[in-house]
Amino acid sequence: MTAAINNPVMPELDEDGLLVNPQEWTEEVARLMAQQLNVPRLTDDHWLVIYSLRDYFQKFGAAPAMNSVCHRLDKDKFWIHELFHSCLNAWRISGLPNPGEEAKSYLNDM
């Protein structure tokens, strides 16, 4: 008898690739989303950004200015984009809810 292989399942995403139910986010979901978004491996720097975004959202209920996240972590303003290919991808992988059209536009342009 062989052991069952645990294949993680991606929770439902909306039309923008954001979790429909952010409570379904786990680190494994983050890894799956990262692979789908061509971020092959989540490093310590990725996790630092992910948990910074999650903490900020938990405190304030909104997307932070990504430049301020970079500044607070003593990185240049393009750091998040270099890690995730876009700030919106960082938001997606962090498992946060749809931030609205204006914020998505801002996150996608960064």
| Measured distance CA(36)–CA(64) in Å, rounded | 24
HSE-CB for 29 with a 13 A CA cutoff: 22
* Residue the block writes with tokens 């997307």: 63
Supply the pLDDT for residue 63.
Answer: 83
28-82 tens-digit pLDDT = 999 999 999 999 999 999 999 999 999 999 999 888 888 889 998 999 989 999 9
Phi, psi at 52, each rounded to 5°: -65, -45
| Measured distance CA(39)–CA(80) in Å, rounded | 12
How confident is residue 2, by pLDDT bands cut at 50, 70 and 90? very low
Q: What is the identity of the amino acid at 57?
A: F
Single pTM value for the model: 0.86
Supply the pLDDT for residue 110.
Answer: 56
Q: Are 32 and 10 in contact (CB under 8 A)?
A: yes
| Measured distance CA(45)–CA(42) in Å, rounded | 8
Candidates 3.40.190, 1.10.287, 1.10.10, 1.50.10; correct CATH number of 22-109? Answer: 1.10.10
Q: Token pair of 82, please?
A: 């270099």
Range 76-98 average pLDDT = 94
